[in-house]
Chains A and B, each alone.
Chain A
């Protein structure tokens, strides 16, 4: 099993619903976020392109955050999802520094927090992650890459895609449809 997500940049409007839905679903305190929106403008008026991306932890197969964690708090869970066990985390911040995607933040309760793909609270119950299920543009696809019929497998078969900072060698599992 290999959980992954694809985000369609042709549909995402950058509304940030994914951000609020994640905050309310996962009790992320106001002022922090596990996912966010990036907008990249290219060109000169009137020859322009804008790419909008909903970003989050890339749940890398080769995660620098897991490798550098001194306590084993950062770990691979079911389907390759990268998680943090709060009570094992000493808040040293090594993982924050190691992440090429800046996907982690120090939770005010003293541990490092990040996207979980809603593994325990939703995915294990057969639901999509909160961001996927709320998105008004339905621009996100989630599922198991080992299952050829999962939404994410299907969309990656038919569409062009890219990953972010592939040169970091982390083998990210967050794909952007272009």
Chain B
């Protein structure tokens, strides 16, 4: 492939409605007419249609209301929904901004070359899908269908996943595992034989003590968790927050432990030490359900609070006192496993320590600790068996990340770069709803992989950076304009939620369900898409569950009774855990047989060189990743990220709040844009902090372009977790550049 084929193309605004809609594959929101009743006063009742939110992956179910002119006015929570209890978060409330965003992708685009110049040309859907099908067929002939990979985040994954499996590839990966929550799933799987799920199975509403380790609930706006934390505060629960930054949650906490970054595992081991030494663990629980206690006891002997003090800078008395708080609350205590936990490369071990602490406190299977979630057994619409792929995605990283229980996305990315020792190289990527250039650290590596591709298809609603490298861009309509698969989530009660269109797709956009089915048709795979349209498929599924599409259009959410009354363990219940020993494995046989430490061991991580500060990043409650950075309603609340700097550091560098700086990291990577300094006592002097998802460099994102710094760009050093392939991203150090020429929005202003 010529290098030039991957020139980044900035998607232009042409084509806004310039193409006629190629046939109506889409039957608009018939259900809304049902609710469009005339009330007794003769006035029109507001029209509302059910949806579940796609602004983040908590997937709250709600209602979309339209005004008298048929415009979407507001989105509110569905009272029956366990994810949101009738209350949407700011992002969900501002979801209408995604629909209204005039910078949206508007029509299919195909990369063209004229000499050295590359550009996108507008294409019809038929043409774009024909192009993709042609390329996919030729790749299948040359290399095999398993050389096509799907990266996906969000609802479109189910539709394209079906097409991929029918095509003969099982290489389907989401960055939500190895770039996010993977280490906690593996840490708990190896200990309890089960994972945490999303929404998390933590019983915050009834907890008496919650420990947050680097988890910043309240800024991290996972709706149900934030709601339940508030309930717990009302009920007087003790909150212990461990964070180098005085987070919002720290402000709600009885104890804030301002830990030195990258030393959390030492604190956890010390807590385990204190709890065992003082016999503060749940003896009956440990005896009945666990194995490896004696080995653990021996292992943690040296990890006194005084030992941990030297590493974490946390006062030994505070370590003891907080351990006692946990003991006092036991078993209604949650050592929160967090969500984005890919930090330092030994993250599975840190989460193993969280799991061990959880077991000692007896909180797994107990009210106020961890409950057993349940979801519905929802049958899939019958299709022929999928062909057996010749290679599994695991072969892309043969012999590595052996305990990963999901596909490792960065493993597939790495396997796309041709090397002599790799037989399985990916030749095509289908990227749905994930801006991989912001999701994967080490952008240079991602670009190298993209360079090696014969086909890159990107499906998105917005011209995010990854679209600029695509061969074909398929514009999806927003979640407010489409059906998707039913939301079937693990929760206290099994439940289903429906997403249906509140409005017709704007511009020349289509739902992923339609795209995948059409593409499958062109590839001769229609047998795996036997339904006339998605409504028919959803109705079939719902009827299997004793409901119907008709009913769900009226109620939006349906909760079902649990199969058994087993939310918590019964007192003295015999429980068989899904581990090798059938017990909770304090000493992990899985870890041991895979060649890893069976008990977590603290290792010191690299510290910032002089004049550099550890780059920490997190979330803001009004944004999700990089996907909301252009949403008009949400940018109205926050339109750029800022850099938190301790006043001591600011003084040293002569920095003031409001001033813009650029950053340079340990590998001399200089940020594309500048970021506004926020001098605040709320951060340690050895680190700086910014919200993830800003610093977009596509000018066509008119509100997001050049606003703030993209933290991902500064994460050039990645510490891979050998256990499950997680990309540790908090081992990067930055320094300030104050002498530079301003670019982007600020310069224009």
Number of cross-chain contacts by CB at 8 Å? 124
Whether B252 contacts A133 by the Cβ 8 Å rule is no
Partner among A41, A43, A49, A138 whose Cβ is within 8 Å of the Cβ of B227: A138
Contact yes or no, B75 A24, CB < 8 A: yes
User: Is A108 engaged at the interface, CB distance under 8 Å to the other chain?
Assistant: no
Task: Report the nearest B residue to A48, measured CB to CB.
Answer: B246
Flag whether B353 is at the interface (Cβ < 8 A).
no
Interface contact A137-B227, CB-CB below 8 Å:
yes
CB distance from B298 to the nearest CB of A (A): 34
Q: Closest CB of chain B to A101's CB: distance in Å?
A: 20
Q: List 20 A-B contacts (CB under 8 A).
A: A11-B230, A11-B233, A13-B218, A13-B248, A15-B621, A20-B622, A23-B633, A24-B74, A30-B632, A41-B680, A43-B681, A45-B246, A45-B683, A52-B251, A136-B87, A136-B88, A136-B89, A136-B227, A138-B231, A139-B230
Chain B, range 75-107, C-beta contacts under 8 Å to A: 75-77, 86-90, 93-94, 96
Interface residues of A in 4-41 (CB under 8 A from B): 10-11, 13-17, 19-21, 23-25, 27, 30-31, 33, 41
Contact B230 A30 (CB under 8 A): no
Kindly list chain A residues whose C-beta atoms are within 8 Å of the C-beta of B638: 16
Given contacts A30-B633, A136-B227, A136-B230, contact A24 B646 (CB under 8 A): no
The residue of chain A having its C-beta at the shortest distance from the C-beta of B249 within the complex is A13
The answer, yes or no, to whether B636 is at the interface (CB within 8 Å) is yes
Interface residues of A in 43-57 (CB under 8 A from B): 43-46, 48-52
Could you tell me if B246 and A46 are in contact, using CB atoms closer than 8 angstroms?
A: yes
What residues on A are CB-neighbors of B223 within 8 Å?
A: 136
| Interface residue A89 (Cβ < 8 Å from any Cβ of B) | no
- Chain B interface residue count, CB cutoff 8 Å, equals 48
* Chain A hits for B251, CB < 8 A: 48-52
Question: What 1/0 mask marks residues of chain B from 649 to 683 whose CB sits below 8 Å from any chain A CB?
Answer: 00000000000000000000000000000001111
Q: Which residues of A approach B to under 8 Å, CB–CB?
A: 10-11, 13-17, 19-21, 23-25, 27, 30-31, 33, 41, 43-46, 48-52, 133-139
Closest to B67 in A: A27
Residues of A within 8 A of B685 (CB): 45
**Is residue B580 within 8 Å, beta carbon to beta carbon, of the partner chain?**
no
Residue of A nearest to B246 (CB): A48
Closest chain A residue to B683 by CB distance? A45
Q: Is B565 an interface residue (CB 8 A)?
A: no
B226 an interface residue at 8 Å Cβ cutoff?
Answer: yes
Chain A nearest CB, measured from B276 CB (Å):
28
Contact B633 A45 (CB under 8 A): no
Cα-based distance from A43 to B258 in the complex (angstroms): 14
Additional pairs, 18, CB under 8 Å, beyond known A17-B88, A21-B74? A13-B249, A15-B226, A17-B89, A24-B74, A24-B75, A24-B94, A25-B74, A30-B636, A31-B636, A45-B646, A48-B246, A50-B250, A50-B682, A52-B251, A134-B87, A137-B218, A138-B87, A138-B231
Tell yes or no: B268 within 8 A of A by CB.
no
Cα(A49)–Cα(B73), bound, Å: 38
Q: Are B681 and A45 in contact (CB under 8 A)?
A: yes
